[in-house]
Amino acid sequence: MTEFLGDDLRGSRFERVDLSGADFFAVDLSYARVRGADLRGIVMRGVEVTDARIDGEVERLVVNGVDVAPLVEAELDRRDPDRPKMRPTDPRGFRDAWDIVERLWAGTVERARALDPQLLHESVDGEWSFIETLRHLVFATDAWVRRVILGDPAPWDPLDLPWDEMQDTPGIPRDRQARPSLDAVLALRRDRMASVREVIDGLTDESLASSTEPVDAPGWPPAESFGIRQCLLIVLNEEWHHRKFAERDLDALAH
């Protein structure tokens, strides 16, 4: 165990560091930035939380004895009536949800086309560029639809972009230096979105409740069986949240 007692670590960078079970006492974390971190089971007592911001998957977050996660979820659903539709339970619900995804992304792409093409490769506050966001959604579709549901052991395109914290995996591309045009990435997106549409249009109550056969090949997701509904919910979640992030960053780029 390493101890830091009275050390000045201001401005330090911790990347792929295991801090599980670490003890922080009387530390100054003001203006710290935490991205892609696993905070399960974290306990904070006697802390001052002012002007803090949390963006991510929040479950069972207890603040001063109150689980605020359900309150946050309810408020987000209230703000956007389309959001609850991203949690469908039957085939019709999935078709409606995908209609919404296609409609919303069409509007976001039109916004992006109005900008200087070079801006679509620009990162805002360290996040993915617009082009990288589209490339990541291609990866998500390849992983959960083409690989897990359709059984293609290696569905990847060279422009696929896994999430940053994913360990390098043989056979899965991760080219952060690529600078494809918007039209090139959109052509890839249309192809992958058509795959999702085909699967969703073919859903029945029975198929939605079924599970996939494990893919007999290394890669990601691992060679396991997954519920069809689980896979499609992951895709909807990726599409919904990354479009929100893209809209946020387009706002910044436009100004």
Angle between helices 182-201 and 228-254 (to 10 degrees): 150
Q: Is the pLDDT of residue 124 over 90?
A: yes
- As a whole number, the mean pLDDT across the chain is 94
H or E stretch at 235 = helix 228-254
Superfamily of domain 87-254: dinb family like domain (1.20.120.450)
Q: How many CB atoms lie within 10 A of CB 143?
A: 22
Q: Is the pLDDT of residue 216 over 90?
A: no
Q: What is the pLDDT of residues 142-159, one digit of tens each?
A: 999 999 999 999 999 999
pLDDT of 1 reads 78
Those residues whose C-beta lies under 8 Å from the C-beta of residue 129, and which sit 6 or more positions away, are 120, 121, 122, 123, 249
Nearest to 181 by CA among 246, 241, 130: 130
Q: Residues 28-43: what's their mean pLDDT?
A: 89
Asked if residue 221 has a cis previous peptide bond (ω within 30° of 0), the answer is yes
Is residue 67 classed as helix, strand or coil in its secondary structure?
Answer: strand
Contact 115, 250 (CB under 8 A): yes
Q: What is the pTM of this model?
A: 0.88
Token reading at 145: 């639809």
Q: Is the pLDDT of residue 117 over 90?
A: yes
Per domain, the residue ranges of the chain are 87-254
